[in-house]
Amino acid sequence: MFMGDHYFSAQPSSPEELRTISVNLAGRDITATTASGVFSPDRLDKGTEVLLANSPDAPPGGDFLDIGCGWGAISLDLAMQSPHARIWALDVNERALDLVRRNAESLGLDNIRAVTADQIPADIAFRTIRSNPPIRIGKPALHELMQTWLPRLDLSSDAYLVVQKNLGSDSLQRWMEQTLPDRFAVHRHAISKGFRVLKVRHRSDTTGPIDTLAE
């Protein structure tokens, strides 16, 4: 990757260098197209593996959000699980969004929308949010991202975020607990391979307690 070229750049300056990788998503072995200038182009990264292994089945329908979609692993997994849902694959990186579109088309998935933030209608509430968020954009930008999208969870709906422990999972959990409105509950859902899966629920009056992971 060229100096100054990051996976969170809107227009990566490095050569595209398309490649294919074999991955298992939603219990299905697939071939995905990736490229330089996007997050984890050579393999399914460990954090995403942990998230997929430790998240419940997706709801059968509704609007789903994948924050920082990269080449689309989480979005593709959700789309195959829930063909009647609409998955919003969100990224600033135009190369990543193009890869999501390529991969969705090759798999015959017509329920993924690969978009930038301004292309998501303001009135949509998300039935679930799944994300391996872009931690390396820095805390101010990451916090802004979380404050923008987590409050758009629908009532009685959940978000699952995977964050490496040594990259600040515990501090992010504390920040969300302190910052999100009272109607949102934040808990550590799973621990695996040095990662934390954090669960955020938008509670309704009838929502019971959620499972928490003991220290």
2: number of Cβ within 10 Å: 12
Are 79 and 105 in contact, with CB atoms under 8 Å apart? no
Mean pLDDT of 11-24: 84
Give DSSP secondary structure letters for 118-146: GGS-TT--EEEEEE---GGG-HHHHHHHH
Token pair of 39 as six digits? 């997050």
Note the pLDDT of residue 117: 97
Comparing 213 with 189, the larger pLDDT belongs to 189
Mean pLDDT value across the chain: 91
For the segment 25-73, what is each residue's pLDDT rounded down to a tens digit? 999 999 999 999 999 999 999 999 999 999 999 999 999 999 999 999 9
pTM of the model: 0.90
Name the pLDDT band for 11 (thresholds 50, 70, 90).
Answer: low
Note the pLDDT of residue 68: 96
Note the pLDDT of residue 213: 53
Note the pLDDT of residue 204: 81
Query: 73-81 and 46-53 are packed helices; what angle lies between their axes, rounded to 10 degrees?
Result: 20
pLDDT at 145 over 90: yes
Are 196 and 170 in contact, with CB atoms under 8 Å apart? yes
β-strand partners of 19: 34
- For residue 119, the one-letter residue type is Q
Residues of the chain with pLDDT > 70, as a percent, come to 89
Mean pLDDT of 143-164: 98
How far apart CA 121 and CA 147 sit, in angstroms, is 17
Q: Among the listed ranges 6-10, 76-80, 150-154, which one has the minimum average pLDDT value?
A: 6-10
211: number of Cβ within 10 Å: 8
> Please, what is the end-to-end C-alpha distance for the chain in angstroms?
39
pLDDT at 107 over 60: yes
